């Protein structure tokens, strides 16, 4: 069905709701709906829940699943096991059913996980059950109008090129949705046991503490991770748990937040307020599908969420201190901060920097101990989940907090210790939102041909990642420099992969040994602001 004629599409749409939606549109609206298709990339599909080939709907999911099945068969995987799970977003039950039933009709052994499921359970099931693939119906922390279709392949890692292109080509030649067979999938004991096996694995990997005094405030951000997170924490020995009640149950409209993303300003206000009321030691904010986790604590007397880079250094240091591996690998991306690299060097570990995304991070090398990206994604148990896992990260954060309390210390002191040993690291992001994507091309061109010579008075050198041949080639540029007193500057500029924005990732690092961490941090934040103001596009 490569010719997407609106009348043919409507006639073949198996969902009466989206058929009716398209039937009510006028000619101009139909042209807009059929001007393009939803692109299948390394993260699968993601887009607005609406009728037509450019939206997430049963017809699109049916054809994408048919293509996935054909791709697996082409690799000699006929009849192999495939795991299917979903979150609680609008359309997720219908999309998951279509996915499972199309694969079953193609002869695959389909394990459909019951009910709304955190995405890490899907990735875990793929690896634990030795499945050829897994599909998670989720749009993670996107707005409530969106949904998505995320694919894992053998080993439980996200697919990488050219697998995505092969599947997209097969989508283009897929039959009309109503011509694709479906077969009902029965309940499976392997699906029912998946969550319990995941919880057992957490205890096996990280152990449990006895009656931990750690008090935890947690929000599920209206997502599907709350119950499993509480079960995981309790099994690990943490009983003093407090939740934001109005954000605990799954709700696809995310009514109490503007954006269901713990990174967004204001998104974690309620859990921080709860933490202050109950005098918590640790704040945990999951995103809606629980694959990401932000943590917070009282830092120098003020409650705040930690940055992804701060959390990455803390968790990485904790895992490195407890590993028995002789040459462990830890990984972060080109836009993440540099603290983990320094922590790894001090621990005798090997640090690898990758392109953005966990599809690259989990392929950084072996034995992989830990990987993170600055966008609060943490892979803390890659032998079990080859992707970011907010629930496992929450357990590790609780274990770290318990260790600090046992020492008569806390996470704030742990951050200060890292700064004293490795230098104060300050990271920040700035985004330039545009109305025309050509403006992003112009800004990137300006950075390449006429980069700032000395932002905030710091002479910088240019590194164009588009010309690299070390596996890090991508559309990004890096500026690096150093002040006379040893403060280093690094700026990465790259187009956003999901929005019409140019993103700047800034990092400034003071040399180790500066005793007044608070004062040094204030100075570095001020420097970051001055640098950002002199970058192409100006200070947003």
The dihedral built from the CA positions of residue 182, 188, 190 and 191, taken in this order, carries a sign that is positive
Burial of 244: CB neighbours in 10 Å, binned 0-12, 13-18, 19+ = buried
Beta-carbon count within 10 A of 457 CB = 12
Decide: 234 and 226 in contact? Cβ < 8 Å.
no
Neighbours of 172 (CB within 10 A): 13
Q: How far is CA 198 from the centre of its chain?
A: 19
First to last CA, the chain: 44
Backbone angles phi, psi at 228, to 5 degrees: -70, -35
| Options 92, 140, 336, 342, the catalytic residue | 140
112 vs 134: CA distance, rounded Å = 10
281: left (phi over 0), alpha (psi -120 to 50) or beta: alpha
CA distance 401 to 216: 10
Secondary structure letter of residue 467 according to DSSP = G
Residues 205, 133, 109, CA angle at the centre, nearest 5°?
A: 105
Helices (H), ranges, 25-158? 27-33, 58-74, 92-105, 119-128
Q: Please answer whether residues 287 and 262 qualify as being in contact, where contact means their C-beta atoms are separated by less than 8 angstroms.
A: yes
Task: Please tell me the distance from the alpha carbon of residue 404 to that of residue 421, in angstroms, as a whole number.
Answer: 17
Residue recorded with tokens 């950084």: 364
Q: What is the DSSP letter of 375?
A: T
Q: Give the span between the Cα atoms of 303 and 527, in whole angstroms.
A: 24
Catalytic residue status for 409: no
Cis peptide before 298 (omega within 30 of 0): no
DSSP for 303-365? Answer: EEEPPHHHHHHHHHHHHHHH---SS-EEEEETTS-SHHHHHHHHHTPEEEEE-SSHHHHTTS-
Residues assigned a catalytic role: 140
């Amino acid at each position: 069905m490569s010719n997407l004629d609106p009348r043919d599409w409507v006639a073949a749409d198996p969902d009466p709701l989206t058929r009716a939606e398209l039937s009510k549109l006028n000619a101009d609206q139909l042209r807009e709906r059929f001007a393009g298709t939803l692109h299948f990339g390394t993260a699968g599909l993601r887009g607005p829940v609406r009728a037509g080939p450019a939206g997430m709907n049963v017809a699109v999911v049916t054809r994408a699943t048919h293509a996935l099945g054909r791709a697996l068969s082409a690799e000699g995987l006929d009849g192999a096991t495939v795991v299917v799970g979903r979150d609680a977003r609008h359309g997720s039950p219908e999309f998951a059913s279509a996915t499972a039933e199309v694969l079953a009709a193609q002869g695959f052994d389909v394990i459909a996980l019951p009910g709304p499921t955190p995405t890490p359970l899907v990735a875990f099931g793929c690896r634990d059950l030795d499945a050829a693939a897994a599909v998670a119906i989720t749009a993670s922390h996107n707005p409530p109008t969106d949904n998505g279709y995320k694919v894992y392949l053998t080993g439980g890692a996200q697919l990488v090129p050219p697998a995505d292109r092969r599947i997209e080509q097969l989508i283009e030649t897929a039959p009309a949705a109503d011509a694709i067979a479906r077969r009902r999938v029965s309940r499976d004991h392997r699906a029912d046991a998946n969550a319990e096996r995941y919880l057992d694995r957490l205890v096996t990997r990280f152990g449990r503490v006895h009656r931990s005094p750690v008090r935890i405030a947690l929000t599920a951000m209206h997502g599907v991770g709350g119950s499993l997170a509480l079960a995981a924490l309790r099994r690990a020995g943490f009983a003093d748990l407090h939740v934001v009640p109005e954000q605990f149950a799954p709700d696809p409209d995310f009514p109490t937040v503007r954006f269901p993303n713990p990174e967004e300003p204001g998104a974690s206000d309620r859990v921080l307020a709860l933490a202050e009321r109950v005098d918590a030691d640790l704040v945990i904010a999951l995103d809606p599908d629980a694959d990401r986790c932000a943590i917070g604590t009282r830092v120098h007397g003020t409650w705040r969420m930690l940055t992804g880079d701060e959390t990455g250094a803390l968790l990485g240091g904790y895992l490195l201190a407890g590993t028995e591996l002789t040459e462990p690998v830890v990984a972060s991306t080109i836009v993440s901060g540099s603290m983990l690299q320094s922590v790894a060097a001090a621990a005798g570990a090997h640090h690898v920097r990758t392109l953005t995304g966990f599809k690259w991070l989990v392929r950084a090398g072996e034995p992989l101990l830990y990987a993170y990206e600055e966008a609060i994604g943490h892979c803390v148990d890659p032998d079990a989940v080859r992707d970011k896992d907010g629930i496992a990260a929450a357990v590790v954060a609780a274990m770290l907090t318990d260790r600090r309390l046992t020492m008569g210390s806390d996470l704030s002191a742990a951050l200060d210790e890292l700064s004293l040993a490795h230098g104060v690291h300050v990271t920040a992001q700035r985004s330039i939102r545009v109305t025309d994507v050509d403006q992003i091309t112009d800004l990137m061109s300006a950075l390449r041909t006429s980069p700032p010579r000395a932002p905030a008075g710091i002479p910088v050198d240019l590194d164009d990642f588009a010309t690299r041949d070390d596996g890090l080639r991508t559309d990004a540029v890096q500026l690096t420099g150093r002040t006379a007193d040893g403060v280093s500057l690094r700026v990465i500029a790259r187009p956003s992969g999901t929005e019409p924005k140019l993103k700047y990732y800034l990092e400034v690092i003071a040399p180790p040994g500066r005793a007044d961490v608070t004062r040094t941090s204030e100075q570095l934040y001020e420097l970051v602001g001055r640098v950002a103001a002199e970058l192409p596009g100006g200070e947003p």
